[in-house]
Amino acid sequence: MTYSIGELSRRTGLTVKTIRFYSDRGVVPSTRSATGHRRYDAQALARLELIRTLRDLGLPLAIVQQVLDGRRSLTEVAATQAEALNVQIRQLRMRRVVLAMAAERDADAGALDRLHRFARMSETERTALVDEFLTAVFERADPSLAAARRSMVPELPDEPTDAQIAAWADLVELVRNEQFGGLMRELVDGYVGSGLRPHDVAVIRRVVGPAIAAGIEPRSAEAAAYVEAVGAVDVDRLVLAADARRERYFELLAVVNGWASPDSPAAALRWYLEAVGR
């Protein structure tokens, strides 16, 4: 049984013009009737239906031709196309989240441009940016801080939520800030290994925590006993540790990595610094 080009069009849903195009390209074979009209057999019908399916799935005609010629298998092409779509979906999600962030924050042209540049960065570029930041921060660090450095690495999952993408964008913006990088380097450079003395922040959290829980005001007379119990600490370094950007980094890191919200020392540090007049 053979079909005219019009019958083939009705059966496949493709236009006559499209079928004629495929015929002229040699993708769909045809014969000529005694009157010179194109005729198509069942094989041509099957090929057209496969072509329509593959084209609807976004495959370019050159790849479709390779499948029809047997140069590539359907399995191989389907896997390749699925991965390509995954990449496109991730890119589109990134753009959607960036646009939503810009709208929510009433971003100006500069902020929108920074968000757009983030969306255009590859995963490798974003990872390299954070790695450069951490390498600079820990350049002169005590070897005992190697584990701390590893714990500060953001790892966006393969299927991130919108919140994780937004946190990743904010984190990239934060590590680009030279002042923040200097602050973190100064904190790390001034760290005294745990083998010598307890970490100042940990001491303050342990000592000051009960005062905060008891509702004791940092400028009150009762606060003096807690300040004395803390002992000698590097107040200038504590000012750095209490910086909101440092706390923000760890908040964003937790979101990106899917961790529980960090137990922030900010409240204890602010209480102590106010108590000592800083």
Same domain, 62 and 125: no
For residue 62, give the CATH number of its domain: 1.10.1660.10
Domain residues for 17? 5-68
Which of these, 64, 7, 10, 4, lies nearest to 39 by C-alpha position?
4
pLDDT for the residue numbered 197: 46
Q: Which of 53, 68, 83 is the last residue of a domain?
A: 68
Same domain, 242 and 132: yes
Residue 74 belongs to some domain of the structure: no
Same domain, 137 and 273: yes
Residue 229 belongs to some domain of the structure: yes
Instruction: Tell me if 191 sits within 8 A of 145, measured CB to CB.
Output: yes
pLDDT for the residue numbered 181: 94
pLDDT for the residue numbered 73: 93
Beta strands 38-39 and 31-32 are antiparallel
Residue pointed to by tokens 């960090």: 262
Same domain, 161 and 233: yes
Instruction: Tell me if 59 sits within 8 A of 77, measured CB to CB.
Output: yes
pLDDT for the residue numbered 137: 93
pLDDT for the residue numbered 239: 86
What gap in Å lies between CA 70 and CA 61, rounded to an integer? Answer: 14
Same domain, 52 and 155: no
Same domain, 40 and 165: no
pTM of the model: 0.68
Where b means 16+ CB within 10 Å and e means fewer, 86-111 reads: eeeebeebbeebbeebbeeeebeeee
Total domain count, the chain:
2
pLDDT for the residue numbered 90: 84
Tell the burial category of 25 from Cβ atoms under 10 Å away from its Cβ (0-12, 13-18, 19+): exposed
Same domain, 59 and 142: no
Instruction: Tell me if 188 sits within 8 A of 141, measured CB to CB.
Output: yes
- The three state secondary structure string of the chain is CCECHHHHHHHHCCCHHHHHHHHHCCCCCCEECCCCCEEECHHHHHHHHHHHHHHHCCCCHHHHHHHHCCCCCHHHHHHHHHHHHHHHHHHHHHHHHHHHHHHHCCCCHHHHHHHHHHHHCCHHHHHHHHHHHHHHHCCCCCHHHHHHHHHCCCCCCCCCCHHHHHHHHHHHHHHCCHHHHHHHHHHHHCCCCCCCCCCHHHHHHHHHHHHHHCCCCCCCCCHHHHHHHHCCCCHHHHHHHCCHHHHHHHHHHHHHHCCCCCCCCHHHHHHHHHHCCC
Same domain, 162 and 264: yes
pLDDT for the residue numbered 118: 85
Residue 131 belongs to some domain of the structure: yes
Same domain, 63 and 141: no
Expressed in angstroms, the distance from the first to the final Cα of the chain is 93
pLDDT for the residue numbered 179: 94
pLDDT tens for the chain, residues 1 to 278: 889 999 999 999 999 999 999 899 888 988 888 888 889 999 999 999 999 999 999 999 899 999 998 899 999 999 999 998 888 888 888 888 888 888 988 888 888 888 888 888 888 898 899 999 999 999 988 788 888 899 999 998 888 899 999 999 999 999 999 999 999 998 888 764 443 344 788 889 899 999 999 999 999 999 999 999 998 888 888 888 889 999 999 999 999 999 999 888 888 999 999 999 88
pLDDT for the residue numbered 159: 85
